[in-house]
Amino acid sequence: MASTNHTKHHPVRKLVSLLVLVLVVAGILATGYLAKGQSLAPGLAIDLAGGRQFILTPKTTTGAAVTQSDLDQAIAIIRQRIDASGVSEAEITSQGGTNIVVALPGEPSDETRDLVTKSALMRFRPVLTIADPGVTTTTKAEDSATADGTADDTDQTATDDQTATEDGTATDSGASSDSGSDDAKTDDKAAGVAEQAAIEPASFTTGVKTAGDTAGDDATSDTSNGTDSAVTDDTVPADGATTDDSTTSDDSTTSDDSTTTADEGASALPADDDPIWQTFADLDCTQAASLQGTNDDDPDEPFATCASDGTAKYLLGPVEIQGSDIATASSSLETTDSGQTLNSWQVNMTFTSEGGTLFAEVTKRIAGLDSPRNQFAMVLDGLVISAPSVESKFSSSGITGGQAVITGSSADPFTRQSATTLANQLKFGALPLTFEIQSDQQISATLGSEQLEKGLIAGAIGMLLVLIYALFQYRVLGLVVMASLAVAAVLAYLTVTLLSWPSVLGMRLSLAAIAGLIVSIGITADSFVVYFERIKDELRDGRPLDAALDTGWDRAKRTILASDAVNFAAAIVLYQLAVGGVKGFAFMLGLTTLIDVILIFWFTHPLMVLLAKRPFFYEGHPWSGLDPRKLGVEMVQYRGRGKFGKPKSIADTKDPEHAANADADADAAVAPVSRSASPKGERMTIAERRALAQKQAEATVATAETDDKDSTGSDDSSENGEK
């Protein structure tokens, strides 16, 4: 009895489901193309589309010789950065044990180029003051007057060497009384510093919830109100040991003229005559040259630099935490103390054990300072990427637990992209080497285009050979093979195009990936062969076509699933162990294996169920591919109740009486044989039953031929006797 198969009763439902799937994916592609300008063609890797190649010479920050271990670590970190940015099929290799070669497909963005060429040295410095990005003529007295955000309060900023003007801006008592233009510039600068200080920055908060945090604290600073949150998924490599306590010593940062106290450490303002004030005043962050960044700054001294976007300039204290003190960083949606998820993003940071201790000490100290000196700047390659403030409620103990959360301000909340970018910078920002760019050149895709053309020709030839074989072996059923391969091609194209979008996976097709697509033709064809041969086997056993479809499918699908499972497992292992282009081959092998499963279950088998209802197929037309005579069924026929017999056409002779006797002899010879038991009463396999039936049929034919010869001999003897 044929097994129950629900697909037999609902083949149209399966076909409609597949059609809906194709239309949904096509609709997504069309929407992305019309709304966001996404491409409708798969992205190509560097070997097919060309790109840019960088040759970098690494150097250690200490001047020591570069070891192979340093080189391997640098390659691993660069690869992590590029992978995290969404660029796939990048080629990163060492050259001669001294250089690093990085090849990026297409035309990489400036951000991606920076990930490759910059050493990404991450340092944390306290903010001393902030100003507008342009050149100013302010002095230390003027900056210190506004560094606390109190440009209008002369009592808090003037020193013995300073006098306060009527508008509250501090000026140097040694300044010329007739320098009216300088006074105007000073007033403008003071207003600019006050304006920058008034801008609500991002803020730090604890990453470990405590009773005090959940209860709320009325003593939070103004800069922490209404903040949003943002998160990213990245990790920070080490770039060196943490700084000594000497970097935060009072002697290196305080003076008798300073308005700060000795316990401010690295947050103390430099002395009046410190050249850093003039450097800060002359810094012009509106110039592109100022935004190139540097790693030549002294970690033990104050540092004047720009925001990475050029919107402000900073005077920073000595380095207090290194990038190597960050264990990991990630981005996520912000959650409230009650557990509610908001529609804003935050960046989550986790420090090493030593880094967590240093961070707690620094945040405890600066939490009690006025803005902007309560901000802790993150400096990447000499540019400030973020300067979150520390809420005043942490002035008693600092942010402890080795975890911290950065939330955006109400005026400038984090977006998903900005949070992810910052997390990536924190995570991969501690590369222990600097680089000199030896070469930056465009790579032509001419050779790759020729190889792509040959690859497509090879794929077309393979497809043609499969179709010729299918038509020769399965006749009209070969058209089912053609239709299935066409649907598989559509599914593969739509899927690969969608996965090529940067917002999805950023996958790119390489020659190795195309080889994986070509191999998939054989995988799909193998499924057809298994299915069709199972159907033919059941027809040879005497089953009608509908029963042969059900029984053949039940047996074929187990074989197909087992084969595809092996292919998919091999693809996973290969993808995990391989690098470069081989990953593309493994990915395509796994993807097309999944498509093969969808195809055989949702298209090929349902289509065969529908075709089996057509007379062309169930009557066994010679061109249907299911003709019983071509399958050898004429050698033995199943007569029901476990009985087999030879066709009457073989026993048919001119002598009706002899024909009847021959047919009876055939029935007598074959009828007692059961399809499931041998003459000894033992159960037989399908192969054993076929072999026994074949022998019985041959014996029947031989008996009929012997009877014919005997009859002919008798007739000849009679004729001779008459003569």
pLDDT digits 0-9 by tens, 523-567: 888 888 888 888 888 888 777 788 888 888 988 889 999 999 999
More confident residue, 314 or 417: 314
Residue range 668-689: mean pLDDT, rounded: 56
Mode of pairing for the β-strands spanning 122-131 and 99-105:
unpaired
Evaluate whether 385 touches 422 at the Cβ level (below 8 Å): yes
In this predicted structure, the answer to whether residue 650 has a pLDDT above a threshold of 80 is no
Report CA dihedral (587, 592, 594, 597) to the nearest 10 degrees. -160
Question: Into how many domains does the chain fold?
Answer: 4
Same domain assignment for residues 678 and 587:
no
- Nearest CA to 367 out of 395, 389, 387 is that of 395
Mode of pairing for the β-strands spanning 51-60 and 433-443:
antiparallel
Same domain assignment for residues 305 and 395:
yes
Residue 37 falls inside a structural domain: yes
Same domain assignment for residues 97 and 130:
no
In this predicted structure, the answer to whether residue 9 has a pLDDT above a threshold of 70 is no
Same domain assignment for residues 35 and 59:
no
Residue 319 falls inside a structural domain: yes
Residue 77 falls inside a structural domain: yes
For residue 491, the model assigns a pLDDT of 92
For residue 143, the model assigns a pLDDT of 47
Share of the chain above pLDDT 70, in %: 66
Same domain assignment for residues 573 and 677:
no
**Boundary-marking domain end, from 371, 396, 427:** 427
- Which tens digit of pLDDT belongs to each residue from 562-610? 999 999 999 999 888 876 678 888 889 999 999 999 999 999 889 888 8
- Structural domain for 93, as ranges: 51-112+436-443
Please name the helix (run of DSSP H) or strand (run of DSSP E) that holds residue 620, with its range, or none. Answer: none
- Which tens digit of pLDDT belongs to each residue from 177-211? 343 444 443 344 334 444 444 455 666 666 544 33
Same domain assignment for residues 323 and 394:
yes
For residue 72, the model assigns a pLDDT of 78
Which residue intervals of 37-67 are DSSP H helices?
46-49
Same domain assignment for residues 390 and 471:
no
Residue range 278-300: mean pLDDT, rounded: 82
Residues in CB range of 709: below 8 A, 6 or more apart:
none
Tokens of 652: 């048919």
For residue 642, the model assigns a pLDDT of 56
- Which tens digit of pLDDT belongs to each residue from 50-60? 778 888 888 77
Q: How far apart are CA 16 and CA 23, in angstroms?
A: 10
Residue range 394-420: mean pLDDT, rounded: 85
Same domain assignment for residues 518 and 606:
yes
Residue 674 three-state SS: coil
Same domain assignment for residues 148 and 232:
yes
Residue 480 falls inside a structural domain: yes
- Nearest CA to 423 out of 377, 391, 385, 382 is that of 385
Instruction: Tell me the CB-side half-sphere exposure of residue 652, using CA atoms within 13 A.
Output: 4
Q: What is the DSSP letter of 124?
A: E
Tell me the residue type at 327.
Answer: A
Tokens of 188: 């403008």
For residue 646, the model assigns a pLDDT of 52
**Boundary-marking domain end, from 368, 396, 427:** 427
Task: Say what the pTM is.
Answer: 0.50
Average pLDDT score over the chain: 72
Same domain assignment for residues 493 and 585:
yes
* Banded pLDDT at 295 (limits 50, 70, 90): low
CATH of the domain at 105: 3.30.70.3400
- Which tens digit of pLDDT belongs to each residue from 96-130? 778 888 888 877 777 777 777 766 678 899 999 99
Q: How far apart are CA 64 and CA 605, in angstroms?
A: 67
For residue 325, the model assigns a pLDDT of 85
Tokens of 721: 């006797």
Q: What is the DSSP letter of 54?
A: E
The total number of residues shown for the chain amounts to 723
Residue range 296-323: mean pLDDT, rounded: 88
Residue 623 falls inside a structural domain: no
3-state helix, strand, coil in the chain (%, to 5): 50, 15, 35
Share of the chain above pLDDT 90, in %: 11
More confident residue, 456 or 153: 456
- Which tens digit of pLDDT belongs to each residue from 35-88? 888 888 888 877 777 778 888 888 776 667 777 777 777 777 777 667 766 676
- Which tens digit of pLDDT belongs to each residue from 428-438? 665 556 777 88
Residue range 281-304: mean pLDDT, rounded: 83
Tell me the residue type at 141.
Answer: A
Evaluate whether 386 touches 422 at the Cβ level (below 8 Å): yes
Q: How far apart are CA 412 and CA 435, in angstroms?
A: 34
Q: How far apart are CA 707 and CA 442, in angstroms?
A: 88
Residue 630 falls inside a structural domain: no
Least confident of 151-155, 483-487, 569-573, 596-600: 151-155
For residue 216, the model assigns a pLDDT of 37
More confident residue, 278 or 654: 278
Residue range 369-383: mean pLDDT, rounded: 87
In this predicted structure, the answer to whether residue 703 has a pLDDT above a threshold of 70 is yes
- Nearest CA to 330 out of 207, 217, 444, 438 is that of 207
For residue 673, the model assigns a pLDDT of 44
Same domain assignment for residues 126 and 23:
no
More confident residue, 481 or 171: 481
Residue 532 falls inside a structural domain: yes
Please name the helix (run of DSSP H) or strand (run of DSSP E) that holds residue 45, with its range, or none. Answer: none
* Banded pLDDT at 419 (limits 50, 70, 90): confident
Same domain assignment for residues 516 and 383:
no
**Boundary-marking domain end, from 618, 644, 678:** 618
Q: How far apart are CA 214 and CA 208, in angstroms?
A: 10
Residues in CB range of 685: below 8 A, 6 or more apart:
none
Distance of CA 644 to the CA centre of its chain: 60
Distance of CA 719 to the CA centre of its chain: 93
Residue 509 falls inside a structural domain: yes
